[in-house]
């Protein structure tokens, strides 16, 4: 066994894509998963270099790091205005709660404001990122419905602009991973087609679309639904709406905010059954207040009041993002929704990795993949986090 092994974790359950090793061990080396296996790992430990970090997991659980494709900020900072120090603060906070990769998510804003976010994130990604990795940018808006703004600033809502997309893809190639828009708006269908042609995930959200309009958008390349049930037309037995299309359209992968506030437990259970274990993603939709206490904050220039962990607009009382972390979302999915740890892990790690096309690199525990690894107790309390093999303190 290589003497360069840096971390060896034993006496743990190893949650893999298709199975769980109930008693096993895992080795991390040079930023990757070196090997893993069954048993107590005693013979493997005997071959380790004396400098290796050997960790007794005390019967806990090892999971792949979480990937959050929809997160606006945290610990007092927002991606809309965060400088490098602010990006460090956001990524460190979420890394300490199990997120090893994320999409920096914008809100509906002017093109100039969005351009500035893209500039800052691109510059940040060009340096070594010490905490959770910014895997790209998720543009939430500004091409959404004026009827369903939620906590988005309606002053900046516009119809899809193909010239904006051409400019972004020219100046920031590969940086935009996903864009949320309302597929029923004028110009949305050619815009969705252009997104897919540029390798960008076309997502619906903040939309007044009918069932038929969503189905038509899918034919043009729409393949994702943000924070399902929230800010979209509801399910009715004679008009299935956006929700009905998301539930029944196999081409759409769906997100859900599993915090017990945004979506009723029964609706999350329904969504999980309809989409199955491979087409549902856990997200946080976390705003800058995540990690902080009750008080007044801002989201996209709008005043937000956080009380008892729930964020709402000061005017209108709409839910405004969340203060959720991915480890809390996983626990809710297991303890309340009734998913297995394996299913919840897939929704928090494997599915988003596949959604972003990086599942050959991360998102599951397999030798050769990035050492984005979490150690949890048997009670699902987060104990340790490694991002590319680096322990997060």
Which residues participate in the annotated binding site? 140, 151, 206, 227, 230-231, 238, 262, 319-321
- Kindly state the tokens that stand for 120: 């800052």
The region, left, alpha or beta by phi > 0 then psi within -120 to 50, assigned to residue 317 is left
Please give the angle made by the CA atoms of 12, 384 and 82, to the nearest 5 degrees: 145
Would you say 3 and 51 are in contact if contact means Cβ atoms under 8 Å apart?
Answer: no
The answer for residues whose C-beta is within 8 angstroms of residue 108's C-beta and 6 or more apart is: 140, 141, 142, 144, 149, 152, 153, 154, 156, 157, 300
**Closest by Cα among 95, 164, 299 to 179:** 164
Binding-site entries for Zn(2+): 140, 206, 227
Active-site residue, from 68, 259, 285, 372: 285
Q: Is 307 exposed, middle or buried (0-12, 13-18, 19+ CB in 10 A)?
A: exposed
Q: Does the active-site annotation cover 40?
A: no
Rounded to an integer, what distance in angstroms lies between the CA atom of residue 43 and that of residue 49?
13
With H, G, I as helix, E, B as strand and everything else as coil, classify residue 246: helix
Would you say 102 and 349 are in contact if contact means Cβ atoms under 8 Å apart?
Answer: no
Would you say 231 and 207 are in contact if contact means Cβ atoms under 8 Å apart?
Answer: yes
Supply the angle between the helices 265-275 and 241-248 in degrees, to the nearest 10: 40
For residue 155, the 8-state DSSP code is G
Phi, psi values for residue 385, rounded to 5°: -135, 135
**Greatest Cα-to-Cα distance within the chain, rounded to the nearest angstrom:** 68
Q: Give the residue numbers annotated as catalytic, written as ranges.
A: 285
């Amino acid at each position: 066994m290589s003497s360069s092994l840096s971390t060896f974790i034993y006496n743990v359950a190893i949650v893999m894509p298709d199975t769980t090793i109930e008693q096993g061990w895992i080795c991390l080396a040079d930023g990757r998963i070196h090997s893993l296996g069954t048993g107590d790992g005693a013979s493997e430990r005997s071959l380790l270099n004396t400098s290796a970090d050997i960790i007794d997991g005390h019967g806990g659980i090892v999971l792949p790091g979480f990937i959050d494709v929809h997160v606006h900020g945290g610990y007092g900072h927002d991606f809309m205005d965060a400088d490098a120090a602010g990006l460090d603060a956001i990524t460190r906070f979420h890394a300490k709660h199990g997120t090893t990769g994320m999409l920096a998510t914008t809100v509906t804003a002017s093109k100039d404001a969005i351009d500035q976010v893209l500039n800052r994130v691109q510059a940040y990604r060009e340096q070594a990122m010490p905490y959770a990795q910014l895997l790209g940018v998720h543009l939430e808006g500004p091409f959404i419905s004026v009827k369903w703004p939620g906590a988005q600033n309606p002053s900046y809502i516009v119809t899809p602009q193909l010239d904006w997309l051409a400019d972004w893809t020219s100046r920031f190639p590969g940086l935009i991973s996903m864009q949320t828009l309302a597929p029923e708006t004028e110009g949305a269908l050619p815009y969705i087609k252009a997104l897919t042609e540029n390798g960008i995930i076309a997502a619906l959200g903040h939309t007044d679309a009918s069932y038929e309009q969503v189905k038509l958008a899918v034919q043009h390349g729409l393949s994702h639904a943000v924070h399902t049930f929230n800010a979209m037309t509801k399910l009715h037995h004679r008009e299935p709406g956006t929700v009905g299309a998301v539930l029944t359209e196999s081409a759409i992968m769906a997100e859900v905010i599993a915090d017990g506030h945004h979506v009723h437990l029964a609706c999350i259970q329904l969504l999980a059954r309809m989409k199955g274990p491979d087409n549902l993603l856990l997200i946080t939709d976390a705003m800058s207040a995540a990690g902080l206490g009750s008080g007044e904050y801002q989201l996209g220039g709008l005043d937000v009041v956080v009380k008892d962990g729930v964020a709402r607009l000061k005017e209108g009382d709409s839910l405004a993002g969340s203060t959720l972390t991915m480890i809390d979302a996983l626990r809710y999915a297991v303890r309340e929704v009734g998913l297995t740890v394996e299913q919840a892990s897939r929704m928090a790690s494997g599915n988003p990795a596949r959604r972003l096309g990086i599942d050959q690199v991360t998102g599951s525990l397999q030798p050769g993949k990035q050492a984005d690894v979490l150690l949890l107790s048997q009670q699902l309390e987060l104990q340790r986090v490694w991002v590319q093999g680096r322990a997060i303190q």
